[in-house]
Copies of this chain bind each other. A is one copy, B any other.
Amino acid sequence: MVADRIPEHPDVRTVPLQQVLEALVDPVRRSIVTQLHDADADIKCGGFNISVSNSTATHHFRVLREAGLIRQHYVGTSRMNTLRDNEINKRFPGLLEAIVTADRVATN
Interface of chain A: mostly helix, strand, loop or mixed: helix
Is A99 an interface position by the 8 A CB rule?
Answer: yes
Is A8 an interface position by the 8 A CB rule?
Answer: no
Determine, out of A38-46, A53-61, A70-78, A100-108, the stretch whose residues face the partner at the interface.
A100-108
Q: Is the CB of B27 within 8 A of A102?
A: no
Take A92-B105, A98-B92 as given contacts and tell me if A25 and B21 are in contact as well, using a CB distance cutoff of 8 Å.
Answer: yes
Q: Is the CB of B17 within 8 A of A103?
A: yes
- Residues of B near A108 (CB, < 8 A) are 16-18
User: Which bracket fits the contact residues of A?
Assistant: 20 to 34
- Tell me the complex Cα distance, A33–B93, Å: 18
Interface set of A (CB-CB < 8 Å, partner B): 13-14, 16-18, 21-22, 24-25, 27, 30, 91-95, 97-99, 101-103, 105, 107-108
Q: Is the CB of A94 within 8 A of B91?
A: no
Q: Is the CB of A98 within 8 A of B95?
A: yes
User: A94 contacts which of B16, B97, B103, B107 (Cβ < 8 Å)?
Assistant: B97
